[in-house]
Structures are given as structure tokens and as C-alpha cells.
């Protein structure tokens, strides 16, 4: 958008430069040509007057013709303008240079000579504007009058090299001024477009942050800075009101989910107790239905537990300590030891690896939540005899923990949806679980400023990794120096 806005400004400046520069160039060329035309017309009229005696002189007396020829020859030598005199019949009487050096007289010169012999003056005919690329000379012809009768004509043929060179210089100056105007327009347009578009860019960035915060259950976004044109400041105000409404709606939805899950636990617990009390007391024909009801009650209980865990994870993003730092080794070792009995029970080997001594910006409870959800899935899908590797990670300035299972893995389209709420892989709908484990893990990681990544494992299986930011380095001297 900035490029297009800058292009519009430059086009307007360019049109203004062309609109002013072209008429200025043409006007200057017209003025310069008129000066040359007037000067040559004066000389031509003067030569027409001087040619009177030569044209009326008898053939025997050639003194006047000789004097006129000497005058025009001297003039030609000084100014480089050819001068010719013709008699009434159009025959050449005198010329300022030899015939082999005379300019071509066919075409326009002949037409102007005919007009002069008809008694018309050159000033009565408009002379076309010469352009820098026109090489034709300026030809003027004036009638020679004696007692009002045309006895011949005088003609001047002026080269236009100097005139065209002056035009080129003037046009170059005007073109340079136009280029400078474009440069000045660019220098003015750059900060202007930045001023106009800065609020738009801030709104775009704010929308990205709000979208990420809403997805991760993060803290509310601060109102945007209202700068720029009044229309954009009004738009920023509308955006702030809209974002506030969205945050309130999302917060109300989360509160409802948390409250509903919490309120349903008590009647569900009572229902489970009643069903347990009926164990052994139901009719033999209703035993299967009683068992199915117990299983559905257990499944509903797991779903409610998952919803409560998800609500806590999203609430922790708003109320958690953003400066919390966790020693990864302590949490990872603790969760590995907690899940090891289940792994041994199912015949899965649980391994621990990776570099030691890493620290990350996340609450310990949050990291435990992520590892529990990921380890639960890994042990659930790894067949007996397989291995699950839990490793700490450090790469590209980030730290993390990965869990690699030996299960069937996931195709790319399933990995893209695996962190959605209640999403279950095709063909695994009937497996135990609420479908909220990876969703809780992903939102907990996002709330800590991290990310949960699912990749295919080398040799088969799924690799789930949480990547986190390391804690900021303390300045030299630490807190003591700051206190001083």
C-alpha cells in the first residue's frame, strides 16, 4: 500500500511538472525564434532596400550590383547567413557566396520567393515553430519595391544550429527542474506516506497480537496509539472498542466453560456413586447396560476434567507470572519418574536424554501440564516393546523438551489439526481420552511465549516438542549493582 500511495503522489507531481514544463519550454522556444526571426527580417528588409539600385541599374553599368554583392558577401562572412537577390522574373541577380555553396532553394525557399515576387511581405506569413530536431534553415524573402512596383526580391537563408542548441539547453534545464521536482516530491511523500500508513500498520500488528492472545488465552491487548489523520484515529478508536468487546466475549465464554464444568462435576460424581452402589444389585439382563453407563460416566468425567484443565491453562495465560523461570531438568525428571510405572506396565521403555542445566521462561506447573499431556499420548500410542524418548533441547537461541514415541505417527493434515479442541485422529475416535490433551499443551506453551511443534519422528512415530524462550541474561553486577 505504501508503494501504491507513493506512486500516486509521484504521478501527480510528474503530471504537474509536465503540465508546467512543456508550455514553458514551448514558450521559450517561440520567444527565442521570434527574436531570431525579427533580426533576420530586419536584415532582409534592409537588403531588399539596398537591392533597388542594383535591380534598376542598366546592364552596362554594374557598379551598384558590384557594391551590393560586396555588402552581402561581407555580411555572410560575418554572420554565416546567405543573402540572395532575384530580379522580377526570379533569376538570380546576386548572391553572398558562390553557387556551389548556396543552400538548396527548392521547396520552401522557392515558395517564399514566389510570395515575395507577388509583393507580399514575410511578416504577413506566420513562421512555423522550429523544434530542436528540425534542421531546415530560416528562409525569409522580401519584395524589392520601386515606386510601389515589385522589381525583384531579396532572400536570407539563416542556419538554425545556434537556435536549436539554445533550445536544447533551455529544455535540458526545464527537464532537470522536473527531475528535481520529482525528487523533492519523493522526499516529501516518503514521510507523508509513513505518517498516513503508520496507524494502519499498528492496527495490523495489534490485530495479529490480539489474534494470538485470544488463541493462547493471553492477557488483553493494550489500546492502540491513535496517531495519523483524523479518519484513521477514529478507525483506531473503533478497533479498540471492537477488541474490547471480543476480549470480553472470549473471557465470558471461558468463564462459562469453567463454571459449567465445575458445576457438572458434583452431579456427575453423585451419578457415578449411585451407579457404583448398584453394582451387584442390577438384574443379570441389565448388567451390560449398567457397565456401559459406568463407562460413559467415566468418559464424561474425563471430558469435564479436560475442560477444567483447559480453562485453567487459558486463565493462567492472563494471571500467570510472565517472568517465571523453570529448571527443565527438575521438571522433566519428575514427570519421567511419575510416568515410568505406567510405561513399565504397558511394556514401553521410557528414556531420558538431552543436554542438562537448561532453563526456560515458563511456570513449572505449565511445563508439567504440557509434559503430562504429551507423555499420555506417547504412551497411549506406543505399542508394547517400543520406546518413548524424552529429551531436553537447545537450538537457534531457544530451549525446549521433546517427546518422541514409536506409534503410527500422523500425516501432515492430521498434525495441522491435532491441537484443535476435541479433535481425534480418524480411526481413533473410540480410544480413551477427551481430545483436549494437545489443545491444553499448545495453549499452555503459547501462554508462556513458546510453541508446540509436531513433526514426524526419524524412523517412524511422532515427535512433539515444546520450544520456549530462555531467561533474559542479567546485566553485569546483577541486582546489587542496580540497588546501588
| Tens-digit pLDDT profile for residues 278-330 | 877 778 888 888 888 888 888 888 888 877 777 777 666 666 666 788 999 99
- Closest C-alpha among 211, 216, 214 to residue 446: 216
Please provide the average confidence, as pLDDT, over all residues in the chain: 82
Q: Say how far residue 124 (Cα) sits from the centre of its chain.
A: 61
- Residue 421 pLDDT class (50, 70, 90 cuts): confident
State the sign of the Cα–Cα–Cα–Cα dihedral 196, 199, 203, 206. positive
CATH of domain 321-468: 3.30.565.10
- In this model, does residue 417 exceed pLDDT 90? no
**Which residue intervals of the chain bear CATH 3.30.565.10?**
321-468
Strands annotated E in 264-411: 326-327, 349-353, 359-360, 387-395, 398-404
Residues 58, 146: Cα–Cα separation, whole Å:
15
- Residue 479 pLDDT class (50, 70, 90 cuts): very low
**Which residue intervals of the chain bear CATH 3.30.450.20?**
1-169
First to last CA, the chain: 50
CATH architecture, range 1-169: 2-Layer Sandwich (3.30)
Q: What is the DSSP string of 208-276?
A: HHHHHHHHHT-PPPPPPP--SSHHHHHHHHHHHHHHHHHHHHHHHHHHHHHHHHHHHHHHHHHHHHHHH
Task: Tell me what the mean pLDDT of segment 141-157 comes to.
Answer: 87
How long a stretch of residues is the chain? Answer: 484
Most confident segment among 35-39, 278-282, 432-436: 35-39
Q: What is the pLDDT of residues 381-413, one digit of tens each?
A: 899 999 999 999 998 889 999 999 998 888 888
The predicted structure's pLDDT at residue 477? 45
Most confident segment among 131-140, 180-189, 334-343, 434-443: 334-343
pLDDT greater at residue 225 or residue 220: 225
The predicted structure's pLDDT at residue 334? 93
Cβ within 8 Å of residue 260, ≥6 positions away? 307
Q: What is the pLDDT of residues 11-35, one digit of tens each?
A: 888 888 888 888 898 888 888 888 8
Q: Determine whether domain 221-319 maps to CATH 3.90.550.10.
A: no
Share above pLDDT 70 across residues of the chain, in percent, rounded to a whole number: 88
Are 151 and 88 contacting, i.e. CB atoms less than 8 angstroms apart?
yes
Residues 455, 461: Cα–Cα separation, whole Å:
9
The predicted structure's pLDDT at residue 394? 92
Task: Tell me what the mean pLDDT of segment 205-233 comes to.
Answer: 68
Residues 17, 180: Cα–Cα separation, whole Å:
10
Q: What is the pLDDT of residues 93-137, one digit of tens each?
A: 888 888 777 777 777 788 888 888 888 877 666 777 888 888 888
**Which residue intervals of the chain bear CATH 1.10.287.130?**
221-319
Amino acid at each position: 500500500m505504501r508503494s501504491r500511495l507513493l506512486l500516486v503522489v509521484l504521478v501527480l507531481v510528474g503530471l504537474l511538472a509536465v503540465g508546467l514544463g512543456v508550455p514553458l519550454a514551448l514558450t521559450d522556444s517561440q520567444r527565442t525564434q521570434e527574436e531570431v526571426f525579427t533580426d533576420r527580417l530586419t536584415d532582409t528588409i534592409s537588403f531588399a532596400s539596398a537591392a533597388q539600385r542594383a535591380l534598376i541599374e542598366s546592364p552596362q553599368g554594374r557598379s551598384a550590383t558590384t557594391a551590393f554583392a560586396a555588402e552581402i558577401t561581407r555580411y555572410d562572412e560575418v554572420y554565416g547567413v546567405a543573402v540572395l537577390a532575384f530580379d522580377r522574373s526570379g533569376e538570380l541577380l546576386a548572391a553572398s557566396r558562390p553557387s556551389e555553396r548556396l543552400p538548396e532553394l527548392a521547396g520552401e525557399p522557392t515558395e517564399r520567393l514566389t510570395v515575395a515576387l507577388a509583393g507580399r511581405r514575410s511578416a504577413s506569413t506566420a513562421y512555423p515553430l522550429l523544434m530542436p530536431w528540425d534542421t531546415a534553415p530560416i528562409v525569409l524573402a522580401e519584395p524589392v519595391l520601386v515606386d510601389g512596383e515589385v522589381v525583384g526580391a531579396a532572400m536570407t537563408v539563416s542556419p538554425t544550429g545556434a537556435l536549436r542548441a539554445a533550445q536544447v539547453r533551455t529544455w535540458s534545464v526545464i527537464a532537470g527542474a522536473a527531475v528535481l521536482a520529482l525528487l523533492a516530491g519523493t522526499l516529501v511523500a516518503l514521510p507523508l506516506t509513513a505518517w498516513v500508513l503508520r496507524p494502519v500498520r499498528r492496527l495490523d500488528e495489534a490485530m495479529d497480537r490480539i489474534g494470538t492472545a485470544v488463541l493462547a488465552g493471553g492477557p488483553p491487548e493494550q489500546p492502540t496509539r491513535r496517531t495519523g489523520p483524523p479518519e484513521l484515529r477514529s478507525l483506531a478508536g473503533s478497533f479498540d472498542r471492537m477488541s474490547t468487546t471480543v476480549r470480553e466475549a472470549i473471557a465470558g465464554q471461558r468463564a462459562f466453560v469453567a463454571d459449567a464444568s465445575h458445576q457438572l462435576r458434583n452431579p456427575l460424581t453423585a451419578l457415578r456413586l449411585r451407579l457404583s452402589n448398584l453394582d451387584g444389585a442390577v438384574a443379570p439382563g441389565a448388567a451390560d447396560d449398567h457397565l456401559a453407563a459406568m463407562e460413559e460416566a467415566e468418559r464424561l468425567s474425563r471430558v469435564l476434567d479436560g475442560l477444567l484443565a483447559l480453562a485453567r491453562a487459558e486463565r493462567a495465560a492472563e494471571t500467570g507470572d510472565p517472568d517465571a523461570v523453570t529448571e527443565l531438568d527438575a521438571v522433566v525428571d519428575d514427570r519421567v519418574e511419575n510416568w515410568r510405572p505406567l510405561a513399565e506396565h504397558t511394556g514401553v521403555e521410557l528414556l531420558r536424554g538431552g543436554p542438562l542445566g537448561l532453563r526456560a521462561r515458563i511456570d513449572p506447573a505449565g511445563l508439567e501440564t504440557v509434559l503430562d499431556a504429551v507423555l499420555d499420548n506417547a504412551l497411549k500410542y506406543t505399542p508394547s516393546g517400543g520406546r518413548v524418548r524424552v529429551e531436553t533441547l537447545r537450538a537457534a537461541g531457544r530451549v525446549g523438551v521433546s517427546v518422541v514415541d514409536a506409534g503410527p505417527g500422523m500425516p501432515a493434515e492430521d498434525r495441522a489439526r491435532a491441537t484443535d479442541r476435541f479433535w481425534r485422529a480418524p480411526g481413533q475416535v473410540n480410544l480413551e481420552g477427551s481430545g483436549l490433551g494437545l489443545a491444553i499443551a499448545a495453549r499452555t506453551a503459547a501462554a508462556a511465549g513458546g510453541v508446540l511443534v509436531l513433526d514426524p519422528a526419524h524412523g517412524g512415530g511422532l515427535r512433539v516438542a515444546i520450544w520456549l524462550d530462555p531467561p533474559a541474561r542479567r546485566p553485569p553486577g546483577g541486582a546489587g549493582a542496580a540497588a546501588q
